[in-house]
Amino acid sequence: MKDYIYQPETRMQNFEECVNILRQRHRVIESWVNNLDEEVLAAIQKDFDASGIQVQELYVKPEDWQGYVQKAGYRERYPDYYKDYMAEKSFEHFVAYRLLEIKSTDVFVDIASENSPVHEIFSRLSGCKSWRQDIMYPPGISGDRIGGNACEMPVPEHFATKMTLTCSLEHFEGMEDQKLFFELSRVLKPGGKICIVPLYMYITEANQTDPTLSVPNDVQFDPDVTIYCAQGWRNRFGRFYSVGSLVERILGPAGDSFYFEVFRIMNATEVDKAVYARFTLIGTKK
């Protein structure tokens, strides 16, 4: 992960050529992962039920989300922040803020924050001490920034009480998602919580990529999974968990350190049709 670049500048122009290169080594489907189809969601729910994992239903009142957006001041303070995806991003933040129950006594860290304003918003709304972490920040701690690999944070044990990964966990390549939870168990205080939203689920384990980025940068995909090539996605790697792979990669290995709760967002499109978050994972440090 030393040379990892989230959105590398090196890319190829011919999408079809890149798809064909991937076909030489992987099972490839030339489309986006269709994880929002109601039949797909029902199948995922069925797999959770069969595994014995209870999924809690989460309903969001549109007026509660709208009130949060207004208080946070997204449109006034951050007009250029993912302006084409403002509904989704603010919804992710709202869900995390609600489920984590951020208080003034919390020490909060936004993992893989990039240019997100969530650390500032949560601090301003709650009075908590707030930090932001990203692999693209300079290594070490500078102001409220924690730079370097999230799996090896330069902070002491039991540093934080609340943490988020919003639209981030899916980008942790190789075994980094599993390594991350071992690091979170070190950094979180007992009783502290981590919120992952969205938790990207599918009926089978899958990787999604924009091959014009992944091919020239030699991205390594998960073994024996189908690669979905999403034209124009502009991301090198994204992991969609099946229920089985979620247990194998996260819930099982980290189960000695965390209590896990899975939430299914039942009325996302009623909040805003642009919202695509469907599942959320909360881990509470034992």
pLDDT at residue 5 is higher than 70: yes
The pLDDT tens digits for 156-177 are: 999 999 999 999 999 999 999 9
The pLDDT tens digits for 49-95 are: 999 999 999 999 999 999 999 999 999 999 999 989 999 999 999 99
Q: The tokens of 124 are what? A: 């301003």
Same-domain pairing of 163 and 104: yes
The pLDDT tens digits for 177-209 are: 999 999 999 999 999 999 999 999 999 999 999
Mean pLDDT along residues 24-30: 97
Could you tell me the pLDDT band of residue 2, with boundaries at 50, 70 and 90?
Answer: very low
According to the model, what pLDDT value does residue 149 have? 95
Same-domain pairing of 194 and 280: yes
According to the model, what pLDDT value does residue 53 have? 98
Same-domain pairing of 163 and 262: yes
According to the model, what pLDDT value does residue 223 have? 96
Same-domain pairing of 96 and 37: no
Do 149 and 156 form a contact (C-beta atoms < 8 A)? no
Q: The tokens of 138 are what? A: 């300079």
Same-domain pairing of 164 and 25: no
The pLDDT tens digits for 213-256 are: 999 999 999 999 999 999 999 999 999 999 999 999 999 999 99
Q: CATH number of the domain that 63 lies in?
A: 3.40.50.150
Could you tell me the pLDDT band of residue 279, with boundaries at 50, 70 and 90?
Answer: very high
Domain membership of residue 2 (yes or no) is no
Same-domain pairing of 263 and 140: yes
Percent of the chain with pLDDT over 70: 99
According to the model, what pLDDT value does residue 6 have? 79
Domain membership of residue 115 (yes or no) is yes
According to the model, what pLDDT value does residue 146 have? 98
According to the model, what pLDDT value does residue 9 have? 83
Domain membership of residue 3 (yes or no) is no
Same-domain pairing of 224 and 264: no
According to the model, what pLDDT value does residue 216 have? 94
pLDDT at residue 1 is higher than 50: no
The pLDDT tens digits for 143-158 are: 999 999 999 999 999 9
According to the model, what pLDDT value does residue 162 have? 98
Same-domain pairing of 255 and 134: yes
The pLDDT tens digits for 91-131 are: 999 999 999 999 999 999 999 999 999 999 999 999 999 99
Same-domain pairing of 137 and 261: yes
Would you call 183 exposed, middle or buried from its count of C-beta atoms within 10 A (0-12, 13-18, 19+)?
A: middle
Same-domain pairing of 132 and 223: no
**Range of the structural domain that residue 14 is part of:** 10-52+202-240
Work out the angle at residue 118's Cα, subtended by the Cα atoms of residues 114 and 119, and round it to the nearest 5 degrees: 90
Same-domain pairing of 187 and 250: yes
Same-domain pairing of 191 and 115: yes
Domain membership of residue 128 (yes or no) is yes
Domain membership of residue 273 (yes or no) is yes
Domain count, the chain: 2
Domain membership of residue 103 (yes or no) is yes
Domain membership of residue 254 (yes or no) is yes
This prediction has a pTM of 0.96
Q: The tokens of 107 are what? A: 């020490």
Domain membership of residue 4 (yes or no) is no
Do 226 and 180 form a contact (C-beta atoms < 8 A)? no
Q: Which of 190, 195, 199, 184 is nearest to 150 (CA)?
A: 184
According to the model, what pLDDT value does residue 10 have? 84
Beta bridge partners of 196: 165, 281
